[in-house]
Amino acid sequence: MSDALPAEERPKTLLITLTGKDRPGVTSTVFATLARFSVEVVDIEQIVLRGRLILGLLVTAPRDWKPLRDAVEKVAAELDMTVEVERGAGDNKHRPTGRSHVTVLGTPLRSAQVAAIAGRIADVGANIDRIERMARYPVTAIDLHVSGTDPEKLRTILAEEAARQGIDVAVQSAGLLRHGMRLIVMDVDSTLIQGEVIEMLAAHAGCEEEVARVTDAAMRGDLDFAESLTARVALLEGLDAAAIDRVYEDLVLAPGARTTVRTLKRLGYRFAIVSGGFSQITDRLAADLGIDFAAANELEIVDGRLTGRVVGEIVDRAGKARALRRFAAEVGVAESATIAIGDGANDLDMLGAAGLGIAFNAKPLVQQAAHTAVNVPYLDTVMYLLGISREEIEAADAAVGIVTPAPPLD
């Protein structure tokens, strides 16, 4: 006599959770066992963490589910793994309100910091549906799939908590747009490169400290950018134009800059640099890195020396936003499909115009206004915000012979 439950009491689904040491053939063995019962697969998740496999299966329940349970338990024992079979587990349902990707970056990322972020998510009634590791070196990055609250509200709450914890947290609305980003527009000074070109030129002209003071005030938003640029460039009057070549040779790219451009161009992204600096530098940078568009101010040079003036319209805060829109139109993408990266007050309009504005090691004013902020020195961390993992980046490089140094052993 069958011990199956009456139809009205039978579970419609079974949740099977298998854990143990990973090895080839585990998944196929489990599914071969399930195949004997002709069940349908409703949902499946599998991860391997430090050599430990966690396999979760939601399957339809047969009329008599106990033989299936016994068979799964038997195969788990043969595999030296543990298994749990739960009756009546329902399918995962998306919550009716907002879904977000929450990317958490830390160097290192400590358990107390993750606990604090998870706690704030719970406080607003939201749920963490899934967690993925995006990178473990040199930055630890995890991506939380969150549902149940408005992304803008979540961004505000988590930004405050991130500041308390000393980590970076980026919140983006989940949806197709994240996969549709196709144009990245970057600032140059202190973003794509380390340092400020005008200060490097000023060092050759003997006025570096004075120029640096004005630059810092302009980037904080204390001075009008166009006025500050005019005043700083005036101090360069008479400088031998050959100093521009020496400055270019001394430029140091932000760590991860070449990796970012190389990787995203493989995926069809277009790149632009928009700078309050000088075209004599940015045009060469664009050619060196394979960047598609560039906009910057042009230093006036007469008889091999700087005149202390710029030629044409100054690329200021509003000019950077206009350049982003112009480049987006040339590429044929909506502004919502653009990403802007910058650090200073003159980047604010550009960051606001983009679909995703990222403040990169930026002044506090900029961090508060941007969609999200990254405060680690590695420019390639922005790819984690796009759902691209370090493993995927390194695999793509390895396929063309680019070898990435191995991370420290755990």
Cα–Cα distance for residue pair 367/257, rounded to 1 Å: 20
Q: Is residue 409 part of a domain?
A: no
Cα–Cα distance for residue pair 136/125, rounded to 1 Å: 29
Average pLDDT along the chain: 90
Cβ burial of 170 (10 Å; 0-12, 13-18, 19+) is buried
> What domain count does the chain have?
3
Shared-domain flag, residues 234 and 167 = no
Structure confidence at residue 215 (pLDDT): 86
Tell me the per-residue pLDDT of 167-199, one tens digit each, with 9 for 90 and over: 999 998 887 667 777 899 999 999 999 999 999
> Which residues are catalytic, by number?
187, 189
Does the pLDDT value for residue 336 go beyond 60? Answer: yes
What residues are paired with 14 via a beta bridge?
59, 87
Q: Is residue 408 part of a domain?
A: no
> Residues 297-305: what's their mean pLDDT?
97
Shared-domain flag, residues 206 and 333 = yes
Shared-domain flag, residues 207 and 83 = no
Does the pLDDT value for residue 21 go beyond 70? Answer: yes
Q: Is residue 327 part of a domain?
A: yes
Structure confidence at residue 1 (pLDDT): 37
Shared-domain flag, residues 21 and 161 = no
Shared-domain flag, residues 192 and 135 = no
Q: What percent of the chain has pLDDT over 90?
A: 74
Structure confidence at residue 146 (pLDDT): 94
Q: Is residue 49 part of a domain?
A: yes
Q: Is residue 401 part of a domain?
A: no
Does the pLDDT value for residue 344 go beyond 70? Answer: yes
Q: Is residue 133 part of a domain?
A: yes
3-state secondary structure of 115: helix
Most confident of 34-38, 40-44, 306-310: 306-310
Tell me the per-residue pLDDT of 368-397, one tens digit each, with 9 for 90 and over: 889 888 999 999 999 999 999 999 999 999
**CATH at 354:** 3.40.50.1000
Structure confidence at residue 12 (pLDDT): 85
Q: Which of 153, 174, 195 is the last residue of a domain?
A: 174
Query: Could you give the angle at the alpha carbon of 42 between the alpha carbons of 38 and 46, nearest 5°?
Result: 105
Shared-domain flag, residues 190 and 169 = no
pTM for the full predicted model: 0.82
3-state secondary structure of 15: strand
**CATH at 28:** 3.30.70.260
Shared-domain flag, residues 224 and 144 = no
Closest of 276, 245, 258, 284 to residue 343, by C-alpha: 276
Does the pLDDT value for residue 3 go beyond 50? Answer: no
Q: Which domain holds residue 30?
A: 10-87
Structure confidence at residue 179 (pLDDT): 73
Tell me the per-residue pLDDT of 70-104, one tens digit each, with 9 for 90 and over: 999 999 999 999 999 998 755 555 555 688 999 99
3-state secondary structure of 39: coil
3-state secondary structure of 383: helix
**Radius of gyration of the chain measured on its C-alpha atoms:** 27
Shared-domain flag, residues 119 and 80 = no
Tell me the per-residue pLDDT of 217-269, one tens digit each, with 9 for 90 and over: 888 888 888 889 999 999 999 999 999 999 999 999 999 999 999 999 999 99
